Structure 1
Amino acid sequence: MKTLGWIIQDHKCRLEAQQEFNFLRWRINSKEMNMKITQDRQQSLIQQLQILLIKIRKQQTIRIRQIASIRGKLIFLKPSIPKASFHIMIMNQIIKQFVNNNNWKIEIICPKTIIPELQWWITTINLNIPINIKPFHHQAQLTSDASKDGWGGTFQIIGQKEIKIADKWRNKESNNSSNFREISAIYLSLLQMLPQIKRYQIQDILVQTDNQVASYNINRRRANWTLAEIVERIIDLTVKENLRLRVIHLPGVLNHTADSLSRLSRSGDYGIKKEILQQVLKEWNIKIEIDAFANRKNRKTRRFYTVNKDKWAEARDGLSQNWTNKVILVHPPIPLIPKSLAKIKEENTTAIVIVPIWEGQYWWPMLQELKIKAKVLGKSQEVLEMGAKMKKRGLMLPPGEMGIFLITKMQKENNYSENL
C-alpha cells in the first residue's frame, strides 16, 4: 500500500489478525465478546483519582477544571461501568455550584462529601470487570404496569407459556410518584421472576412499559435524584445476575393485561354470574353446599365463609375451616389460589373451583392433576360480576378467560375436560 502512495502509521495499525486487541484505549476480546479498560488507562485514572483524593483530605485548593477533566474521563467509561452515572452525581453538583460564567480557572476547597464517590471509582476501576458486547437477542419478554393500588406484569420466555405476576404496594409505597412506581414495577417483576431467569439461564430481556420516563432512564442507566435509587437497584440486579435489559415504550392502550394486573382486586369483591354457575352445575349434576370465599352480596349458597368481616357469614377465613365431607365452591382471590388447591388436595375434598385460565402459573400443574372435569366459561368481563367497592376504587377483574373445574375424592378413571 505504501508503494501506491498510502501513508501508513505502523504504530497505529494491526497487520496481523488478533482476537484480543486495544482500540481507543479499550481492551476488546472478540472471542469472548467483551471489553474492558486498557491497563495504561486503568493505572492513569487510579493515579489521578488518588492525587485528587489526597488534596481533598488535606483540604488543599483544586482547580475546578481539574475536577471537570476527571469527570469527563469517568463519563467515558460508561459503556463498561453500568453504574457510572450514579457515582458522578456529587461531582456534578460541585461543578455546578462553583462554576460561574464559565470561569473554569477558579480554585476551590472541595467538600469531603465527594470522598465516598472517588473511593468507589478507585475500587471499580481497579476491578476492571469486562462488559458483555454480544449483540442483543432477547430470550424473554417482560411487560409491566403500576397503579396506586399495586403493580402487575407478564413474563414470557420465548417458546413457553406466559406467566402473570401481581402484588399490592407495601406500607407507603403507593405515595411515591407515578414514575417511581412504574420503575418499581419493573424491578419487582424482575425479582419475582429471578428463579425462572436463573433456571433457564436467561441473559437478554426485552422490557415493555407504558411509561416513557422509565424506559428512558433505564436504557441510559441514569436518573435524577428522585428516581436514582430505584433505577440503581435495577442496574445492581442486572450486574449481579449478568442480565441485559432493553426497555421499549408500549402505548397504554396496548398494555391492557399488565394494567389489569396492577389494578387487580385481591379481596375477592367479584363473583361468577349465578346463571352461568347454575348451568354448569346442572350439566355436571352436582350441588354445592357452601361458598368458601364470598360476601353477603355475591354468595352463591345460603352458607358461606367470608374473607372480610360479615355477620351473615358462617365463619371468617375459609382456608382455616374444615372442608372435609363438604361440596365446596372455591372461587378464591388470586393470591389465595395456591393455598386453596393445596387445602383441597390435603383434605381430599370435593370442590367446584373457579380460577383464571393462566397456564403459565406455578399452581396450574397442580390444578390439572386434581381436576376431574373442566370447562372454559369465557372472558372474565363477560362471566364475572364486579362488586360495588371494586367499581368505586377502579379495580379490575383478572385478565383473560375464566375456567371452572370439578375436583372430587373419586379416582380419576373417567377424567375428561370440555374445551380445555
Structure 2
Amino acid sequence: MIYSDASNVALGAYTVESNEKIFHCMLNENEKKLSSTWRELRAIQLSLNSFEPDLKCKIVKWHTDNQNCVNIINKGSTKLHLQHLAYDIFRICTRSGITLCPTWIPRCENFKADFISKMVDIDDWQTSFQFFTFMNEIWGPYTIDRFANFHNTKLKRFNSKFWNPGSTAIDAFAQNWTMENNWMVPPISLVAKSIKHLILCRAEGTLIVPKWPSSAFWSLIFNRRLEFQPYVIEGS
C-alpha cells in the first residue's frame, strides 16, 4: 500500500510496510504553475519510479485524494501532458510486473502524505555543472554524488535524503565511502559530520563548502595558523 500527495511546493509519498520508505521532491518554478492534477500524477509517477525495485511483481494499492488521477491512470486522458504521465506510469508497471490499483480517499485520510508534500528543503543547494566539470577534470573522475537528488545530481550514482528515481541509497552517512572518489556538496549543517565520516572511512573526495571562518566546521579544515589540517590535500 502506498499513499501519495502533492502541494504547491513539493511532492510526497510513502509505503506502508515494515521498512517504510519516503519519497519527497521539491517542485521547480514551472511545475508549481501546473494544475493540481498534473502535480498529483507527477507524484505518483516519480514515487512509483523511486519505489520500483521493491514493487516488482506485486499488487500495489495506491491511495490518492485526487479523483482525476484515478480516472486518468485507469482510462487515460485527452490532455497530452497528463497522458504522457499516465503512459509513463503504465510503462513502469509493465516493465516490473506491477499491478497498480489506484484508489481515491478523502483528504482527511491522506494526512501523512500531505505532510510530506508540504515539507520544504531549505538545504537544497548545488554547484553549477560548469563548476563540477572543472573540478572533475582536476580531481576526478568522481564516482558518486553523496548529497543530491535526481534533479541536481552530477553523477549517475547518488545518495539522497529521501527516495528519488535512480537513488543508489538514502542517508549518505549510513554508507561506506571507502573505495570511492566522493563528490560532496552537503547542507551546511552537515559539513562537520561529512569531514568526520571521511576520516572514519579513510575515504577520499572533494568537499565543497562556503568560505565561512566563523563556522563550526572551519577548524576541521584549517588550524589556528590557517594551515590545512593534515588530512586536507588542497582547497580553495
Shorter-chain TM range is 0.5 to 0.7
Larger radius of gyration: 1
Indicate which of 42, 46, 64 corresponds to 1:184: 42
Q: Find the residue that maps to 2:63 and give its secondary structure.
A: strand
Q: Which has the larger strand fraction?
A: 1
Asked if 1:254 is matched to 2:109, the reply is: yes
Report which structure shows greater RCO (CA 8 Å, sep ≥6). 2
Q: CA deviation at 1:172?
A: 1.8
Q: Which amino acid aligns with 1:151?
A: L
Indicate which of 186, 203, 224 corresponds to 2:78: 224
Per-residue deviation, residues 1-20 of structure 1 (Å, max 9, x unmatched):
xxxxxxxxxxxxxxxxxxxx
Matching residue of 2:132: none
Shift in alpha-carbon separation, 1:344–1:202, aligned structure 2, 3 A: farther
Asked if 1:162 is matched to 2:30, the reply is: no
Q: Distance in 2 between matches of 1:337 and 1:265?
A: 18
Asked if 1:173 is matched to 2:47, the reply is: no
Q: CA deviation at 1:195?
A: 2.4
Per-residue deviation, residues 78-132 of structure 1 (Å, max 9, x unmatched):
xxxxxxxxxxxxxxxxxxxxxxxxxxxxxxxxxxxxxxxxxxxxxxxxxxxxxxx
Q: Distance in 1 between matches of 2:78 and 2:91?
A: 17
Shift in alpha-carbon separation, 1:254–1:224, aligned structure 2, 3 A: same
Backbone CA RMSD of aligned residues: 3.1
Q: Which amino acid aligns with 1:347?
A: I
List aligned pairs for 1:402-413, cutoff 5 A. Answer: none
List aligned pairs for 1:266-281, cutoff 5 A. Answer: 266-267=121-122
Matching residue of 2:51: 193
Q: Distance in 1 between matches of 2:122 and 2:200?
A: 26
Q: Which amino acid aligns with 2:104?
A: H
Q: CA deviation at 1:188?
A: 0.4
Shift in alpha-carbon separation, 1:343–1:243, aligned structure 2, 3 A: farther
Per-residue deviation, residues 143-184 of structure 1 (Å, max 9, x unmatched):
100112110010134xx2211110112462222111011011
Shift in alpha-carbon separation, 1:191–1:348, aligned structure 2, 3 A: same
Q: CA deviation at 1:203?
A: 2.2
Asked if 1:152 is matched to 2:12, the reply is: yes
Per-residue deviation, residues 38-96 of structure 1 (Å, max 9, x unmatched):
xxxxxxxxxxxxxxxxxxxxxxxxxxxxxxxxxxxxxxxxxxxxxxxxxxxxxxxxxxx
Per-residue deviation, residues 222-241 of structure 1 (Å, max 9, x unmatched):
21224211111111221222
Shift in alpha-carbon separation, 1:267–1:242, aligned structure 2, 3 A: same
TM-score scaled by length of structure 1: 0.31
Q: Distance in 2 between matches of 1:246 and 1:184?
A: 17
Matching residue of 1:38: none
Shift in alpha-carbon separation, 1:334–1:225, aligned structure 2, 3 A: same
Q: Distance in 2 between matches of 1:186 and 1:257?
A: 15
Structure 1 alignment gaps of length 5 or more: 1-140, 269-306, 309-318, 321-332, 350-420
TM-score scaled by length of structure 2: 0.53
Matching residue of 1:236: 91
Q: Which amino acid aligns with 1:225?
A: K
Percent of aligned pairs sharing the same letter? 22
Q: Which amino acid aligns with 1:172?
A: N
Structure 2 alignment gaps of length 5 or more: 127-145, 148-159, 163-169, 174-189, 202-236
CA contact (8 A) 2:26 2:120 kept: no
Q: Distance in 2 between matches of 1:193 and 1:342?
A: 27
Asked if 1:338 is matched to 2:148, the reply is: no
Q: Distance in 2 between matches of 1:205 and 1:154?
A: 12
Shift in alpha-carbon separation, 1:205–1:344, aligned structure 2, 3 A: farther
Q: Distance in 1 between matches of 2:194 and 2:110?
A: 32
